[in-house]
Structure formats: structure tokens, C-alpha cells
């Protein structure tokens, strides 16, 4: 789950990392009020959960309180990459000497966190790595040792700092790591981390992405996620509410399976036979009929879906429960699109009987079922 910039900055400030003074506003009048409590010049930033907002015109500058009100009104009446701006963050403009980058993210290959630093900030770290790889410092973090103060100072030294500045920026690095661990962050970064003209360091921008699997430990953010204040689609939010793993894709074959590995294999098989999956939906193990019905409803809410491919390998999940869920969904949702069903495993014969009695054909081979789904999708779902 992505946090807004103002949320990330408030967390950093709580832990003692310097951030510019500022406040959140949802109207131009509120923006004026925030500006009246801090020193000019000002920066007004659109609060949206997308990258590249600066290039899209989502960050504006103002010298006076009156100008803050005007630019805030402009931002609050625009969309950035299709997302409506609902709030802005008004803060003091920093006198910048140098822009830096520091972040911590997961290295899936080494199964650990990695700290990434650069003496060039203010742009995507991927661009820096491509254009000036020698300016990017990567520091693998041993999960048993963690990220210690001497690690932080080592990175700061490589960035060219010494003395009091080395100690100060090292403390900021170490603190950011602690925040990342406390908030179960997949990514936490300061970009840019600014060295000011008086030699201090300030996090001019901050980004935190919390691991969705850890949201039960951060209920305030989970509540906001479920209320729709996130980058997720309505279908993805509905899936989370019903404990379903769902990711929308850009194809036209709706996919439902039980188990992440099986669903991934289903997507691969569809693509192998020339089709395009419309989604990834895993109902998990032991899914009752109601859950299967909800899964079908979510997948069918995508108007691009031409046909459904339901692939069930019954272990904990009972095939007869899946069959009941399919019929329940047909009755409630009014399923009119063709379904290709592969049903194998626990209570398989009973599941097939239930579907057969309802006039629904069931296949045993995933390859055969995938080919059938692709064939139907190419015929326009008829």
C-alpha cells in the first residue's frame, strides 16, 4: 500500500528526521491558512499516489500567500495521470545546496533488504543508475545484523561527507531503516534528501510503500485502503474485503483459480495458446460457495472479459462447493458469458454432477481448457 507524501513526511518527522514545515489542505482557503503559519517562499504539492507528478505539473511554487491560494485552486481542479487531486501539501521552500537520494527496498534475489544511496537526487533512481551508475551505492543488509550506525556512516563517507555532517546524515539513514522496519515497508525513500545551504539535511520528499500482507499491523492505513483512498481499483478493494487475491490485467479471459501457483500456471497456459488473461484471481484454499460467487462477480465486473476460465485443483477446496458457488453466481449475477471449467480433486465427481445437471460442461485437462477459453475469446465470447 502506498502512503501519500504528507503521511510519509509526518512519520519521518515523528522519528526525528527533519522535514520542511507544512500542512495539508483540501481547499484553496485551507491552503491559504496553512501558508499564513509558515515562512515564504512556498511549495504546493498535489497529493496523489502516482510517480512523476512534478513532470505532470503537480508541484508549483509561490512567493506570496495569495499566490498559494491560486496555485492550490489550480491543483485541486486538475487530474494527474487520470487521478483527481483531492488535497495539497503546502510547505516552506528549502534553500538547496545539493540533492541526494537514500532509500531502502527489498532485494528479492538475495531475499533481504538493500540500502541504495546516491549523490544525485531529485530524479528516478533508475535513471541515475542508467546514466551514472558510478554514483549509485548499493549496500546489502544482512537480516541477522540489521542496518547499524557504522553501516550508515560507511555509506555517508562514500557519498563524500565527513565530520559532523557524516554523523548527522548517518543518523538520518539509520532512522529511516528503523521506520522501514516498524512500518513493514517494501520501499521507503527520501528523494530528494536535501543538503541545505547551511549544511543541514532535510527530507524534501518521502515515499513509503507498506507490504499489504502486514496491513493488519497498521489498521489506520488498512481502513483508508478499504474506504477507497488508494491507488487500487474498486475490484481490487472488493477482493481485499473478501480475502481474495486479485490483480487486474489487460486481456479478455477472466481467470479464477485456487492457489497462487495454479493461477500463475493458468495465466502462462492461456498465453502459450495465444490468449490474454484479464486478471489474476486466487480464491485460496477451502473457499466456500459464497466466496466463489464473489470471485465470479468481481471478474465479470470487467467489461473486457469475453469468457471465464475457472481452474480448480481441489485439495482443501472442495469441488462440490466450487460448483455450488458457480451456480449461485449464475443466479445472483446473471452470468451470460461462456465459462470454461476445469475441476479436479476433492469431491470431484459430485462437483461435476452438480454442474452437469445445470447444463455446464467440465474438463479435466488444464491445457484443453485453456485452449477452449482462448478459442472462445477469439470468437468474441460466443
Q: Compute the distance between CA of residue 23 and CA of residue 167 in angstroms, rounded to an integer.
A: 29
Q: Find how far residue 382's CA is from the centre of its chain.
A: 35
Show the domains of the chain with their CATH numbers.
Answer: 1-19+95-231 (3.30.470.20), 21-93 (3.30.1490.20), 233-378 (3.40.50.261)
Helix (H, G, I), strand (E, B) or coil at 8: helix
Does the global pTM surpass 0.75? Answer: yes
pLDDT per residue rounded down to tens, the chain (382 residues): 899 999 999 999 999 999 999 999 999 999 999 999 999 999 999 999 887 888 889 999 999 999 999 999 999 999 998 889 999 999 999 999 999 999 999 998 888 999 999 988 876 777 877 887 888 999 999 999 999 999 999 999 999 999 999 999 999 999 999 999 999 999 999 999 999 999 999 999 999 999 988 988 998 888 887 776 666 778 888 888 888 999 999 999 999 998 899 999 999 999 999 999 999 999 887 777 788 888 988 998 889 999 999 998 877 778 888 888 888 877 877 767 888 999 888 898 999 999 989 888 788 899 999 999 999 998 865 5
Residue 189 is among the residues annotated as catalytic for this protein? yes
The answer to whether 343 touches 313, Cβ cutoff 8 Å, is no
Q: Compute the distance between CA of residue 121 and CA of residue 128 in angstroms, rounded to an integer.
A: 8
The answer to whether 73 touches 86, Cβ cutoff 8 Å, is no
CB-side exposure of 379: number of CA atoms within 13 Å? 11
Contacts for 225-231: CB closer than 8 Å, 24+ residues apart: 225/1, 230/1, 230/2, 230/49, 231/2, 231/49, 231/50, 231/83
The answer to whether 88 touches 72, Cβ cutoff 8 Å, is yes
Q: How far is CA 21 from CA 70, 83, 204, in A?
A: 20, 26, 10
Catalytic residue of the set 189, 235, 236, 321: 189
Q: Compute the distance between CA of residue 314 and CA of residue 321 in angstroms, rounded to an integer.
A: 10
Q: Compute the distance between CA of residue 169 and CA of residue 184 in angstroms, rounded to an integer.
A: 23
Catalytic residue of the set 6, 101, 113, 183: 101
Smallest CA-to-CA distance from 138 within 108, 180, 105 is with 105
Q: Compute the distance between CA of residue 347 and CA of residue 69 in angstroms, rounded to an integer.
A: 65
The answer to whether 373 touches 255, Cβ cutoff 8 Å, is no
Q: Compute the distance between CA of residue 298 and CA of residue 295 in angstroms, rounded to an integer.
A: 5
The answer to whether 309 touches 369, Cβ cutoff 8 Å, is yes
> How many other C-beta atoms can be found within 10 angstroms of the C-beta atom of residue 125?
19
Residues linked to residue 105 through DSSP beta bridges, in sequence order:
114, 187
Sequence-distant (≥ 6) Cβ neighbours of residue 194 within 8 angstroms: 94, 96, 97, 98, 99, 100, 121, 201, 202, 203, 204
Q: Compute the distance between CA of residue 369 and CA of residue 195 in angstroms, rounded to an integer.
A: 60
The answer to whether 118 touches 136, Cβ cutoff 8 Å, is yes
Helix (H, G, I), strand (E, B) or coil at 42: strand
pLDDT of residue 382: 52
Smallest CA-to-CA distance from 258 within 281, 276, 275 is with 281
Cis amide leading into 41 (omega within 30) = yes
Residue 15 is among the residues annotated as catalytic for this protein? no
Smallest CA-to-CA distance from 94 within 15, 198, 24 is with 198
Q: Compute the distance between CA of residue 329 and CA of residue 358 in angstroms, rounded to an integer.
A: 13
Amino acid at each position: 500500500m502506498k502512503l501519500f507524501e504528507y503521511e510519509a513526511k509526518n512519520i519521518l518527522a515523528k522519528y526525528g528526521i527533519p522535514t520542511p514545515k507544512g500542512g495539508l489542505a483540501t481547499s484553496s482557503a485551507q491552503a491559504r491558512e496553512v501558508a499564513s503559519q509558515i515562512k515564504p517562499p512556498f511549495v504546493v504539492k498535489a497529493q496523489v499516489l502516482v510517480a512523476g507528478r512534478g513532470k505532470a505539473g503537480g508541484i508549483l511554487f509561490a512567493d506570496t500567500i495569495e499566490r498559494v491560494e491560486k496555485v492550490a485552486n489550480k491543483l485541486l481542479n486538475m487530474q494527474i495521470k487520470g487521478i483527481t487531486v483531492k488535497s495539497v501539501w503546502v510547505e516552506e521552500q528549502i534553500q538547496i545546496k545539493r540533492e541526494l537520494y537514500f532509500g531502502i527496498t527489498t532485494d528479492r534475489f538475495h531475499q533481504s533488504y538493500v540500502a541504495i544511496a546516491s549523490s544525485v537526487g531529485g530524479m528516478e533512481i533508475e535513471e541515475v543508475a542508467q546514466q551514472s551508475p558510478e554514483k549509485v551505492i548499493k549496500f546489502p543488509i544482512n537480516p541477522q545484523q540489521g542496518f547499524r550506525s557504522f553501516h550508515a556512516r560507511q555509506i555517508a563517507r562514500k557519498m563524500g561527507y565527513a565530520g559532523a555532517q557524516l554523523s548527522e546524515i548517518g543518523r538520518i539513514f539509520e532512522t529511516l531503516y528503523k521506520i522501514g522496519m516498524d512500518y513493514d515497508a517494501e520501499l521507503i525513500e527520501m528523494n530528494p534528501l536535501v543538503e541545505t545551504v547551511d549544511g543541514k539535511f532535510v527530507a524534501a520528499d518521502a515515499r513509503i510503500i507498506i507490504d499489504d500482507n502486514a496491513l493488519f499491523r497498521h489498521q489506520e492505513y488498512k481502513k483508508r485502503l478499504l474506504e477507497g483512498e488508494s491507488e487500487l481499483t474498486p475490484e481490487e478493494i472488493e477482493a481485499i474485503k473478501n480475502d481474495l487475491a486479485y490483480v487486474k490485467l489487460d486481456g479478455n479471459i477472466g481467470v479464477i483459480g485456487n492457489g497462487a501457483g495454479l493461477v500463475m500456471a493458468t495465466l502462462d497456459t492461456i498465453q502459450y495458446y495465444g490468449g490474454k488473461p484479464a486478471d489474476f484471481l486466487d480464491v485460496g484454499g477451502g473457499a466456500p460457495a459464497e466466496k466463489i460467487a464473489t470471485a465470479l462477480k468481481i471478474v465479470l465486473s470487467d467489461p473486457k472479459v469475453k469468457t471465464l476460465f475457472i481452474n480448480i485443483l481441489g485439495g482443501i477446496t472442495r469441488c462440490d462447493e466450487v460448483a455450488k458457488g458457480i451456480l449461485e453466481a449464475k443466479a445472483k449475477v446473471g452470468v451470460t458469458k461462456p465459462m470454461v471449467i476445469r475441476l479436479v480433486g476433492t469431491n470431484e465427481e459430485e462437483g461435476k454432477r452438480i454442474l452437469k445437471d445445470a447444463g455446464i460442461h467440465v474438463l479435466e485437462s488444464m491445457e484443453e481448457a485453456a485452449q477452449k477459453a482462448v478459442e472462445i475469446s477469439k470468437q468474441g465470447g460466443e
